Chain A
Amino acid sequence: MNTEVATMDNLVGPLAIINKTPLREIRAEHTDRVVRRIVDKQALLRRLDVAAFQSAH
């Protein structure tokens, strides 16, 4: 059983592989981690999509 505390995620390793792989050869296994962190709802529950500013007048 796992404890509730999550250890920190970090995308740097997966991105380094994607950066040097031609588009056609990028494998879904390698993009999954990026998709989960950037796109999936689970991760986005509390993410800020847009920082918006509007002046008072």
Chain B
Amino acid sequence: MPGRAGGAAGEAHPLSQFVLKVHGRCDLSCDHCYVYEHADQSWRTKPKIMTPAVALAAARRIAEHAEAWHLTRVRVVLHGGEPLLLGPARMDELISQVRAPIEAVTRLTLMMQTNGVRFNPEMGDVLKRHGVRVGVSLDGDRAANDRHRRFANGAGSYDQVRAALALLRRPEYRELYAGILCTVDVRNSPERVYAALLAERPPQVDFLLPHATWDSPPDRPDGSHTPYADWLSAIHRRWLADGRPMRIRLFDGLYSTAQGGPSGSEQLGADAVDLAVIETDGRYEQADSVKTAYDGAPATGLSVLTHPVDDVSRLRPIAVRQHGLRNLNAVCQSCPVVRQCAGGLYAHRYRTGHGFDNPSVYCPDLRVLIDRTADERSVHHASVKPEEISTADVISQIASGFGDEATIGWLAEQQRSVTRALVSATIDQHGPTSGWAALAEVEAEHPDAVRRVLAHPYVRAWAVGVLRADDPAGMPYLGGLAAAAAVHADVRLETGVRIDRGVVALPTVGTLYWPEAVTAAARITVDRGKLWLTGPGHRTITVDLAQPGTTAAWQPARWITLDGWRVRIEDGDPARDCHGWTPADRLDEHAVGRWRDALTEAWRLIGAELPGYAPALRTGLQVIMPLAPDPAGKQRAATAMDAFGALAATQVGPAELAVLLVHEFQHAKLGALLDLYDLHDRDSDAQLTVGWKPEPRPVEAALQGVYAHAAVADVWRLRARTDPRAADLFAMYHRWTTDAIAALRGTDALTPLGTDFVDRLAATVRSWKS
């Protein structure tokens, strides 16, 4: 016997996850539910709801534990029964009780797992106020879901759950939507289940194998040996072919463990399970899934009212699961896929007489699934290879400090796809506009014209702005994009635009200036080389694009050509105001001339002194956005992560500009890389001391600083013979870089990819010392 909680099994451990059973009953009676339908029937004797007093006692225990163990973060999952049965007012009170003591000592992540049936705006507002993220259970399409997830009267819950998910997708609640939990039933069509889940647009899907033990093995219809592996593989192939549109924890976990990373799930892999459950009456229990094993299995005999969390962490079944592979049975220990599987879910190992000391009852499925997932993934990669650069190549190219043209070109291409996705998302959020229809129409016949316009760096900044502000007022910007594309394609077009403080941007073509700095609706027509803008008072501005030069109403795009490539001066588009500093107003020809001279000379200097940085700049830099001068005459420059390819700067001399170009473009390259890959744990609270700022910096800022300062160190190294300040400046930047790399390596915030990146960068920097 595993022991009814066993006795004390050794030292206390830190536990960082707590499941609070806030309501002990459920409004559904799903026949696969482990709380009510399995061996353990203890729910019958527990109180219906968790009182605020018990919640507070639990929170104090958690807080005292977090403080003693210096936990930087604690996760609390509001669970049931069905937590929403508590109702908004009680929920609000309970969460307030939970938050106060814990948040006084550490960071708290709040989650809820619900059937969704009772989710409504009132509850949504409570959860939003407290920052609770919500996972909803849905088993697939109507037939699949209602096979098990039914009310006591036999009616299915599908419509109610979908209504809850629709609410969670609304912009005001979107931040709450954590994902969908889907219990597998191999009698359902995997294709239909996948399509139904995808249609709900969850950030993440978790597939749960139905609860089973060696005493009551899983259903294997049709005599199939590995029906669960077959079912999940069908979904895996669809998901890969679809470009992995949502995260699927099981597959992401298998990919991760294949590379020695964590699995992110209790179902697979040897991540430490540092979890305790707190019942409605305050009693501690083990993970719910253990309920399948035998009546009373999860009980510990301890309570928040009388025992600290440390006492629970000492109990054998919890302590055992802290050690991953070490405590596994002999069969699993010698299994070739043990690092990825680790015996599967603990509860699935139970057999009367042997306790949990067995492989999973799903062992054949797990074995096949793990091998097949790896095979399918490599077949998929081989088939799409020509279009893709491998992650390892990108990381090593960027970490070397430079990046060749192919790599930067590929990153720029990814950025253009990000922009396409975000532009399309604005339509999803705010509904179609005439500008959108016009843009799509031009694209149908002239896709390159639209690509050219969408490559404008500030399109993404605009899209992020309207998506984040949830304000449709900016949507007519799309009309300007359509008009610009129509000019490139030389097709007729008429659509709505907005005069924004006197300006209508036609990115990559030019800027229209209305006589007054008003914000108003207007219409634009493009036809045979001419533009007409009709705005307030039915006034119309006419522009003949064939006429060279500038007028008060029209500023054609200005390009600066630099041996074989060119950059544009962007001084019109209102969306350019995303660099944290005030943009310069419209530049006159003299000012542009000064930029031209400075850039031309800076580019010559880069070619002569810093040729390693030239290919990346030539491939990725598209726009210089002049900033208004600093009142004290300081140099300013900035890179906005939402505007890849744009560099904002105040006017400076060529030698300084060369350094700024190199320095700022480092930020752009790394920003583009971080859009795609996780180099660090985005949730990390780590703060690092760095040489270049008095205050400690979060991980991403430190990483960005390291990458940019490494390049500046390189600049001064290469200027050693020509500039008397070079030796001191090199020493300073080099020290800042190496110290910050050491600090980054000292945190646990880097992912394996991030560690690889930083180590490669460190090697590059080390090679400069001589």
Contact = CB atoms under 8 A, between A and B. Distances in A.
A14 B414 CA distance: 10
Given A33-B246, A52-B579, A2 B206 contact: yes
Contacts of A35: 421-422, 425, 467
Contacts of A23: 420, 423-424, 436, 439-440, 443, 450
Interface in B672-715: 675-678, 681-684, 698-701, 704, 708
Interface in A39-57: 39-43, 45-57
Contacts of B19: 1
Contacts of A28: 201, 424-425, 428
Interface residues of B, number: 103
B416 interface: yes
Contact of B388 (A16, A38, A48, A52): A16
Interface of B: 16-17, 19, 73, 75, 77, 133, 174-175, 198-199, 201, 203, 206, 240, 242-247, 249, 252-253, 255-256, 261-266, 271-275, 287-289, 384, 387-388, 391, 413-414, 416-418, 420-425, 428, 436, 439-440, 443-444, 447, 450, 464, 467-468, 578-581, 630, 632, 634-642, 660, 663-664, 667, 671, 675-678, 681-684, 698-701, 704, 708, 751-753
A43 B683 CA distance: 8
Given A31-B428, A50-B641, A51-B704, A7 B464 contact: no
A24 B442 CA distance: 11
Contact of A50 (B421, B425, B640, B751): B640
Given A3-B271, A11-B675, A53-B660, A29 B245 contact: yes
B440 A52 contact: no
A53 B440 CA distance: 38
A5 B272 CA distance: 10
Kindly name the residue among B420, B436, B634, B640 whose own CB sees the greatest number of chain A CB atoms within 10 A.
B420
Contacts of A9: 247, 677-678
Contacts of B637: 52-53
Contacts of A18: 243, 417, 420-421, 424
A11 B266 CA distance: 25
A30 to B, nearest CB: 5
Interface of A: 1-19, 22-24, 26, 28-43, 45-57
A4 to B, nearest CB: 6
Nearest to A9: B678
A10 B201 CA distance: 17
Nearest to A6: B264
Contacts of A53: 635-638, 660, 663-664
A10 B73 contact: no
A49 B465 CA distance: 12
B255 A7 contact: yes
Given A3-B265, A10-B678, A32-B245, A50 B638 contact: yes
Contacts of B632: 57
B625 to A, nearest CB: 12
Contact of B245 (A10, A14, A40, A54): A14
Contacts of A57: 632, 634
Contacts of B704: 48, 51
Given A3-B273, A8-B252, 19 more contacts: A1-B19, A2-B265, A3-B265, A15-B676, A17-B242, A19-B416, A22-B443, A22-B444, A23-B436, A23-B440, A24-B444, A29-B246, A34-B421, A39-B422, A39-B468, A42-B133, A48-B641, A50-B579, A51-B664
Contact of B421 (A24, A30, A40, A43): A30
A40 B266 CA distance: 27
B388 A12 contact: yes
A8 B704 CA distance: 19
B635 to A, nearest CB: 4
Given A1-B288, A16-B387, A28-B425, A46 B699 contact: yes
Contacts of B752: 8
A10 B676 contact: yes
A52 B253 contact: no
A52 B580 contact: yes
A31 B639 contact: no
A47 B682 contact: yes
Contacts of A54: 630, 634-636
Nearest to A34: B421
Contacts of A32: 201, 203, 245-246, 425
A54 B637 CA distance: 7
Contacts of A42: 133, 175
Given A1-B266, A4-B75, A55-B635, A46 B414 contact: no
Q: Which 8 A-B pairs have the closest CB atoms?
A: A17-B243, A55-B635, A7-B256, A34-B421, A15-B417, A51-B667, A5-B262, A13-B244
Nearest to B111: A2
Contacts of A24: 440, 443-444
A29 B271 CA distance: 30
